[in-house]
Structure 1
Amino acid sequence: MNKKVFVSGCYDLLHSGHIEFFKQASQYGDLYVGIGSDATYKEYKHRKPMFPQEERLFMVKNVKAVKDAYINQGSGVLDFIPTLDIVKPDVFVVNAEGGSDAKRQLCKERGIEYVELQRTPHAGLQARSSSSLKAELSKASDADASKGDSCGIPTRLDLAGTWIDQPYVSVFHPGWAITISLEPTFEVRDRCGLSTSTRNMIKKIWPVKLPKMDPEMLARLVFCFENNPEREDGHISGAQDSIGICVPGLCRHYYDNNFWPKKIENTNDEMTLRFLEDHLVMVPLDPRRPGCSVVEGKDITPAKVKALADAADACWSAILAHDLQAFASAYKASFNAQIAMFPAMVNPVAYGKPCPEASVEPYIQKYSVMPGVLAWKMPGAGGGGYLALVVEDAKAFAKEHDEAIELHIRRA
């Protein structure tokens, strides 16, 4: 009896690279294929597949090298586990780019041989990949964009270290700011802490979408454009705004008494980004009111800035470790450090006077005691706009609270 061999993927843009992979995998035995469902595809890619699951199943089943195929009934990166229970394979084959420690460990636990294949084209054919096909499709997308169709300018959410990008803060202690670049899958409102002033500046240069260039260089160009010498208000926008928008994925940037960071680090690790998407939501509040100031009454000391920097360090480590409780604790500590220095983030001052009606405290009191809420903070400078929450389950929270916004992080 031949061994049973299993592979899994979405196979939306089925091409010769897939067929060659199937052919090579079938050399280990009878080949069974798990196909990502439409729901999983949308969750993973943040858009619908080009071909619905029934059509993708039909195409894969009729590939000569394939013995049989199934729609995976699970979800997430390991959506194929229910299909493994059906097939009970002897060998699990992945291409080198699709390998992971999680898949390797799963096979080890189940006594399945784990094989990684290098991506090689069939003899005489051009190398194909879904990425290369998408690049070709992107050219058509660019043409459409010039006619007015838009995929949208990203926005950013700051996770920890907010204010450290201002030299009058980092002069007391250096530290990291942490941001994520967000797809604009929701209405990005002005004066709401999501860097809309920077986003609006970008639209003056690139009205439709960001150009394809080195993200850090792009962020520096945006920062310089927004903070041109002729700016009349004398305010320097923090670099975390342009970096948070332009650099995809999860990013941290290190400030030490300067406007531009000394170093920038980012990750687009899929499991890390999904961890954040699974545990972050935003709820809309009233926008920051005209005349409101969040810097009135500021109290910046070395001890308070160090607390901000320490919280950002802990937040980064917790995110990379996918440690929800540690992430929530560090996230909350970062916000507490912010409002210790800038209490008007929560209780704004309007035209030099307290403005109790603009206080955000009632919203914090409301959401902080809700089941499943682990931590909270104001995005950006605060004063209104949104409350960004760390929750046990983003999808479950959004299902129970219509106002909650699920976040989709922009991938590289």
Structure 2
Amino acid sequence: MTKKVFVSGCFDMLHSGHVAFFKEAATYGDLYVGIGSDATIEKLKGRNTITSEQERLYMIDSIKYVKEVFVNSGSGILDFKEELVQLNPDVFVVNEDGFSSMKEEFCNSLGIELKILRRVPDADLPARSTTAIRTSGNCSLPYRIDLAGTWIDQPYVSKYHPGWAITLSLEPIIEYNERCGMSTSTRNAAKKIWPHYLPFDKPEKLAEILFKFENTPGSTLISGAQDAIGICMPGVVRHHYNNGYWPTKFESIHSEATLSWLEKHLCMVLLWPREQGLDLLKETYINEANVKSLTDSADNVWEAIKSEDLEKFAESFLESFNAQTKMFPEMVNQKINAEIAKYKDKALAWKLAGAGGGGYLILVSEKPIEGTMRINIRRKEVL
């Protein structure tokens, strides 16, 4: 009997990369495709679909590798749960950037084999992704990840001890989900000023413009400057805070060797979007000793990056995360700790992107970890 194979995704702006994915998945058996509804994609990605679910159904149904296609009835990352139970396939196939431990656990509970495929173009065609196609004529604004010391960009933290935050600017090689610690809210604000791409100007100036635009006069909750800086300033940047919202000074690393070294040893895995209404300030332990631990670890991370010392980098990276969660314990919970535990024998260190509560888990590793996403650091432009 032929096996049943299931894949799920947005498949917005259908391209050759999708077809290559279907072709490879179909080698395992009859292929069934579940697509995210327009409403699901809008919630996860923070945008409307380029191609409606009706059009996506029509086009995918015409692909010879696909036996059947349907719209998933659920919502969120696991919008396909009901369909998976009803279909009961033998194999669930995902791309590396589509893997999540929640999918793995759900497959295990149903006795379904999960296969992870690499993105490989077929027939000598160029590599394609929906994000790349969208950014070529739409929005190519960067994302950012926070490496160490973050939370220090809030005066209610830095007033206890000054110190540095370290951010990394990322090319938008994939479309990161909303409410997942990738500064999508600040990026969405940036779209209102620069709908397609950052202007060719001094990065620090652009960061200040974005910070002031997002935090209008009279705002009661001030977004940290690290988000605007991480989006607008390329490479690895550290910014120093001393009881103020804007940094007192900046330092950057743009060495190609160092950036490539970081790309080699950093990867990410999707957990789930942060729950609505989560109060990260519900319980805090902000004092001089704890803030100093945060700033000391950030100093050590910076020195480890400059010297490309992986052991020191991993140790300090984890110390920075532990310092964050000691001050803000609502960043983590039992569910998140269970996810982190799955990578403790594969990774050297870990932290949550952004303010935590879910989102993406950033891992430091000596070798690539299967099922994780690599990153592409944005390089400096010559002005």
1:190 to 152, 164, 178: 178
1:348-398: CA deviations, max 9, x gaps?
xxxxxxxx6xx31111111223x3x100001110110110000112xx32x
Cα offset for 1:339?
0.4
2:341 to 349, 365, 387: 365
Give the secondary-structure state (helix, strand or coil) at the position aligned to 1:276.
helix
Whole-angstrom CA distance in 1 between matches of 2:184 and 2:297: 26
2:359 to 357, 382, 385: 385
* Superposition TM-score, scaled by structure 1 size: 0.59
Structure 2 partner of 1:411 = 379
Matches within 5 A, 1:2-401: 149-150=137-138, 152-231=140-219, 234-347=220-333, 359-369=335-345, 371=346, 373-393=347-367, 396-397=368-369, 400-401=370-371
Q: CA RMSD in A?
A: 1.7
Whole-angstrom CA distance in 2 between matches of 1:211 and 1:169: 32
1:32-81: CA deviations, max 9, x gaps?
xxxxxxxxxxxxxxxxxxxxxxxxxxxxxxxxxxxxxxxxxxxxxxxxxx
Give the secondary-structure state (helix, strand or coil) at the position aligned to 1:367.
coil
Give the secondary-structure state (helix, strand or coil) at the position aligned to 2:272.
coil
Whole-angstrom CA distance in 2 between matches of 1:314 and 1:230: 37
Cα offset for 1:151?
5.7
Cα offset for 1:188?
1.4
1:243-290: CA deviations, max 9, x gaps?
011000010000000000000111211011011000000000110011
Name the aligned partner's letter for residue 388 of structure 1: I
1:187-219: CA deviations, max 9, x gaps?
211100011110000011111111111000000
1:282-336: CA deviations, max 9, x gaps?
0001100111122211111100000000000000000000000000000000000
Whole-angstrom CA distance in 2 between matches of 1:295 and 1:383: 12
Whole-angstrom CA distance in 2 between matches of 1:217 and 1:205: 14
Cα offset for 1:230?
4.5
Checking the alignment, whether the CA contact within 8 Å between 2:139 and 2:195 is kept in structure 1 is: no
* Higher normalized contact order (CA 8 Å, seq sep 6+, divided by chain length): 2
Whole-angstrom CA distance in 2 between matches of 1:268 and 1:155: 17
Q: Which stretches in structure 2 are left out of the alignment for 5+ residues?
A: 1-132
Whole-angstrom CA distance in 2 between matches of 1:367 and 1:390: 10
Checking the alignment, whether the CA contact within 8 Å between 1:173 and 1:306 is kept in structure 2 is: yes
Identity of aligned residues (%): 54
Give the secondary-structure state (helix, strand or coil) at the position aligned to 1:292.
coil
Give the secondary-structure state (helix, strand or coil) at the position aligned to 1:181.
strand
Give the secondary-structure state (helix, strand or coil) at the position aligned to 2:138.
coil
Whole-angstrom CA distance in 1 between matches of 2:141 and 2:356: 22
Checking the alignment, whether the CA contact within 8 Å between 1:174 and 1:254 is kept in structure 2 is: yes
* Superposition TM-score, scaled by structure 2 size: 0.63
Whole-angstrom CA distance in 2 between matches of 1:148 and 1:313: 37
Checking the alignment, whether the CA contact within 8 Å between 1:216 and 1:247 is kept in structure 2 is: yes
Checking the alignment, whether the CA contact within 8 Å between 1:272 and 1:319 is kept in structure 2 is: yes
Whole-angstrom CA distance in 2 between matches of 1:343 and 1:178: 21
Cα offset for 1:150?
2.9
Q: Which stretches in structure 1 are left out of the alignment for 5+ residues?
A: 1-144, 348-355
Checking the alignment, whether the CA contact within 8 Å between 1:186 and 1:405 is kept in structure 2 is: no
Give the secondary-structure state (helix, strand or coil) at the position aligned to 1:237.
coil
Checking the alignment, whether the CA contact within 8 Å between 1:148 and 1:208 is kept in structure 2 is: no
Name the aligned partner's letter for residue 327 of structure 1: F
